[in-house]
Structure 1
Amino acid sequence: MDRDRTIEKLKQQIQAYEALLKQLPFSFTYKDSETNWSIMKKEENMISSNEQEIIDTSFTMQYNMEHLFEYIEKQLLSIIDLITHHIVFINNEGVITLCNLQTARDFQVVREDIIGAHIRDLLKIPDDQIYLLQTLRTGRVMKNKEVFNNNYGLLSTQVIRAENGEIQRVIGTFEFLEGVKRSEKQALAGRIAAGIAHEIRNPLTTVRGYLQLWKSRSDQEFSLLVENLLIPEIDRANKIITDFLRIAKPNSSATEIYLLNDLCSNYIRSFLSTEALFHNVSLTFHTHKNIKDHSIKVDREELLQVFINLFRNSLESTKHAGLLKLQIDVKKAGDFVLFVFKDNGGGIPKGVLRHIFDPFFSTKEEGTGLGLSVSRKIIENHQGTINATSDQNGTVFYIKIPLFK
């Protein structure tokens, strides 16, 4: 490995310096302020004679092990950035000293900000669930351990020790399989959706047509039954099929370029304000100044559908909990626009939160479990991401969509 070769080369250099210093016939102390390395050479046994003075000298070289590891990690950085798995180094205090670019991307953090932070600040889980810290405490390494916390995948750990046996680094490699699991679910959803669409949609269209014809020829009571029950139920079934197909089909959105201020203020805010008024919901919609003059390329009808789905979910979560309050903030975050959708509902239990974007997952008796799954599909079709956090004070959804350049 390149790391082993680098360490061996450094050892050889140190041995060469030692050999050179032994030849110097005087004692000294030297400390380099930049690297924090220090060298001391002391005269120990001095024997004199008439002919010559024989000096037996020894010296010690002390160096900052932390500086050595920092140097090696800098050399490794360009290499591990090419690896698509997560790679994280922590020191003996659990502080992150190195992470590759893939880790930062998947956790949606800025790498420079997370270096120097504790590993718990990256993973967002309790210390007793962090396997790198377990390896740090016990010294026992792990290989291909299946992880089922906030992120699903295979974890391996390794330790680097100093000459005295003290652990200097714990290295974690994590094969992130959340995307694979999600793809499998999406593929399954697609196969089910296609089957339902082909087998049911055409008969439903035919039945609806005959019911409309029957409505015009039947008595008033049956006409009301058809109009108020049968046709709405068939329309509902058609909507479910449409949602199935939206999950399964590739992106065919009619995207256009919109100024963020116009899109948010004149379209999304306008529609949601009407819905909020109708349902007696308190809505606060705030756009930050830093989105001015920025644009995004989206299908605005699909993007609006995402906010309608979030609105309806929040409305149902507070149906028996008093007045619903919604707060939507829009701001620029790097090369993205960030939509923060917050409600004051009862929150989502942790065991449920991890599944809310799964197709067909629903805690509601009449729910299809497609609203949030469709929403994620829409956002992903726009090269964006959608995530959620929740506690007893409510739920917050974070939507990020690339700015148009």
Structure 2
Amino acid sequence: MPDSDEGCIVINKPSQQDAVMASFNSLVVENIIESIDVGLMVISHEGRIVYLNRAVCNILDLSCDKHIGFGWGELFITDETSNAEFNQVILDVINEQTIGLKHVVPYKIKGRECPKRLSITSSFLTDNAQTVGMVFLFEDITEIYNAEQREKRILSRNAELQKERIEGLDSLAQAVAHQVLNPTTVIGGMANIISRKLPEGDPLKQDVQIISEEALKLEGLVAAVRNYSEIPKPVPVEVDTVQLFNEAHENANRILKRIGESIEMKLECSVEKLFIGRTLFHIAIVELLLNASNFTPEKVTDVLVNVERKSGVIVIRIIDHGMGIAEHHLKHVLDPFFSTKAKGVGMGLSRVKKIVFEHQGQLKIESPGPGKGTTVTIELPCPDAECCVR
């Protein structure tokens, strides 16, 4: 505002301090922009390059002094194939005029054999609601991209090897089951015939009975191996999650009722639907519930089931408070034929593992130790990756 002094009108002018501060602010901004690793390119509304920082010149192999004022088209569009994806991003920004568009594209530099991988983020400069320019941020993510691709190749190869291993085991199991079942059946049958022909009180009768019982055990083992090898590929359908677990709970309790036991299941579920092979997955859940009951000394087993989306996967946890698992047993519990029960075949968790694997999932068993319960975790890929990112 003007100041009055003895009839004179004095107009305030910007002080020298204001000019110094403005110059200082400009210097700070310029130094920050020039020191960051992110490339910055500003293109005017007419398509001319008006600003390049040092980082973008290194990333795009440009000269900061030489290329200022160039039209972006004449600089980058040299033919129909060179850096087509890169150029399309620029065109999309111009046409769509959307703030915050982000793309990852290859960028080929002349004389360099392999293209870089760039992350490009776009925005606009506006003045009184009018677009006066476009701002592009460039990040060289070549090393990150290459590392991710290497990891994907390794994971893909490991998955192929695991699949080949499982298919090989299946073929071996089917062959062994077929070759062993016939002689086992004959041994058991002949032992029974001999036992019936022996007179009561004959000392050999008890020995023959032992042969018959062991042959019966071997038949059960062969049947378990055959069932494992014949697990089919799942046919995924949309399944109501709560209904699936309630039905599995009821089925497990029907089985346990024969021996006077039961399961009390508490279900915490935030995933409405699962995309799975219904019958196969039902079998797996029943097996896990029965396994929890088998290793709980009480007649009634408390089980907590939690189903949630987390980081792009669906996580299912089945938690019991039973006898737990000793540390030296943990690494073997998913192996075929491993069992700590005297009469156990040891194929239950192996079947569950295979069913989960056929759903492209992972199965993990954790226990703090004996007497501290067990947590079984199933991780399934979410059919809708975007909805699963939380």
Q: Normalized against structure 2, the TM-score is what?
A: 0.49
Give 1 or 2 for the bigger CA radius of gyration.
2
TM-score (norm 1): 0.48
